[in-house]
Amino acid sequence: MADLQKQTEFDVPAERVRQWLSSPGATQRLTPAYLGKYPGTKDLTWVSEVGVDSLGEGRSVFTDTIRYEPSGFNKAQERQIEVFTELLDYRSRQLAVELEFAQSVAHVEPMVVAMSGSSGMVGTELTALLQTLGHTVRPLVRRPAEDDLEISYNPGSQEIELEKLRECDAVINLAGESIFGRYTERKKQQLSTSRIMPTRLFTKSLETLAEDGKKRVMVSASAVGYYGAHASHGPNPPLLTEEDTWGIDVLAKTCLNWEATGTSDVFRTVNLRLGLVMTPAGGLMGTLMPLVSAGLAGRLGEHLWNSWVSVGDALRAFVFAMVNEDMRGVYNVVSDKPVLNDELITKYSEAMGQSPFMPVPSFAPKLILGAEAADTLALASQRVSNQKIKEAGFRFRMNDLDTLFAHILPSPHPSPLSNVARVVRTIA
């Protein structure tokens, strides 16, 4: 076995760092989403050992050791060292962000949080984050509960294990079918019912439970799709705020009804309109990663505005809304810097050691997704403001694409298909 080690000093007491590391969600939060997806990171086998020592005066040093079996080939060994060195660097950076946020909400008493969609891309990471902060997460499941922690509900019959829900301080509502796919009539109906029916049940149930006098909150996901697929036009359109009206396409109408169903005067409710959630684990970024790494990703059109948010900032926004009793209503959750699709694709490609491919004609996504889904998703344009949630006290940690990609991606290691892209560009 071979070892690689990194030490990082923090202005945090050793006991607090140890407490964070011993939480059930720590391993998940320190594992980068690019592992297994990024070229050169598949089929890795490794174990880690961590230690924390006090430096006195509220400071500590974190020692992170990775052990792995070296490959028998020199080139492969060099790549292993590169991958694991960058993994150690990521874990150090990520722990610094996690500890800083944990300190900012350290005044909050541990809460019991019911969560729908807890097994999804955002839900898995949000569960882990809440656990590192000392909260208990109780998954809301649409089947019989398999243990005392799970809470069973049936959105069709509008039934839920109410007494289990009574024990909870908060509901985080992430329920909903994926927005990706061809927009058949059945798909469009499911986009709506998979969100509105659970939300209606949770709202009604929490209103019933409010009679016991306990303060509760529900934080629900929504999306900037509320404003409509083509809400922003031209090279410098005004920023969309929470006061702007809704759009007319299927996603806009779904968001409108979703938010209305998740709003109550009986208990505190918050709806978060998320931008494009940027993570290698899925969504736009994860879907495009094979094309970007091969140098085959191109911009989708002129003056298409993408309002995005790092997955870490999205997770922290849910926690912030949950614990901040002054927050009610709707908030946009996007970075400070919406970008044109051209810039997003260019910076993503450059971060992976590539150049953007030729512009993608508008008919291409329509062939794959169908005209309606392509128009609503791939060709959407929304330039959105985050001023309201910042005025509430939330701080975005990842505010530009360069910072984001430097944190969540390792150094460029292009796909073998890169040569094909170069040949095609040369011919074109």
- What percentage of residues in the chain have a pLDDT greater than 70? 96
Pick the closest to residue 287 from 300, 302, 303 (CA basis).
Answer: 300
Mean pLDDT of 240-251: 96
Residue 2 has pLDDT above 80, yes or no: yes
State the architecture of 112-427 in CATH terms.
3-Layer(aba) Sandwich (3.40)
Q: Please give the class, per CATH, of domain 2-103.
A: alpha beta
User: Which sequence spans correspond to the domains of the chain?
Assistant: 2-103, 112-427
Q: Check residue 310 and give its pLDDT.
A: 97
Do 105 and 323 form a contact (C-beta atoms < 8 A)? yes
Measured CA to CA, the distance from residue 225 to residue 209 in angstroms comes to: 32
pLDDT score of 159 more than 70: yes
Structure tokens at 123: 């839900």
Q: pLDDT band for 157, please (50, 70, 90 cuts).
A: very high
Task: Please check the confidence at residue 120 and state whether its pLDDT lies above 50.
Answer: yes
Give mean pLDDT, residues 85-109.
97
Residues 303-314 have pLDDT tens digits of 899 999 999 999
3-state secondary structure 2-65: EEEEEEEEECCCHHHHHHHHCCCCHHHHCCCCCCCCCCCCCCCCEEEEEEEEEEECCEEEEEEE
Which amino acid is present at 100?
Answer: E
Phi, psi of 331 (to 5 degrees): -140, 135
Cβ contact 13:64 at 8 Å: no
Give the pLDDT confidence of 60-84 residue by residue, as tens digits: 999 999 999 887 777 778 888 999 9
Predicted confidence band of residue 416 (pLDDT cuts 50, 70, 90): low
pLDDT at 301: 77
- Is the pLDDT confidence value at 424 over 50? no
- What pLDDT was estimated at residue 415? 55
Measure the CA–CA gap between 190 and 397, rounded to whole angstroms. Answer: 34
Polymer length in residues for the chain = 428
Return the pLDDT at 421. 47
Q: Specify the range with the lowest mean pLDDT, choosing from 75-79, 115-119, 284-288.
A: 75-79
Question: Across all residues in the chain, what is the average pLDDT?
Answer: 92
pLDDT over 90 at 298, yes or no: no
| DSSP helix/strand/coil, 288 | helix
Question: Reduced to 3 DSSP states, what percent helix, strand and coil does the chain have, rounded to the nearest 5?
Answer: 40, 20, 40
Helices (H) and strands (E) in the chain, counts: 15, 15
pLDDT tens readout for residues 179-226: 988 999 999 999 999 999 999 999 999 999 999 999 999 999 999 999
pLDDT at 339: 96
The DSSP bridge partners found for residue 59 are 56
> 145 CB contacts (<8 Å, ≥6 apart)?
151, 152, 161, 164
- Sequential DSSP letters for 362-374: THHHHHHH-HHHI
Strand order in 59-68's β-sheet? 2-10, 59-68, 46-56
Which residues make beta-bridge pairs with 137? Answer: 113
- Is residue 392 over pLDDT 60? yes
Alpha helices in 272-357 (DSSP H): 283-293, 311-323, 341-351
423 pLDDT band (50/70/90 cuts)?
Answer: very low
Res. 54: pLDDT tops 70: yes
Query: Confidence class of residue 420 from pLDDT cuts 50, 70 and 90?
Result: very low
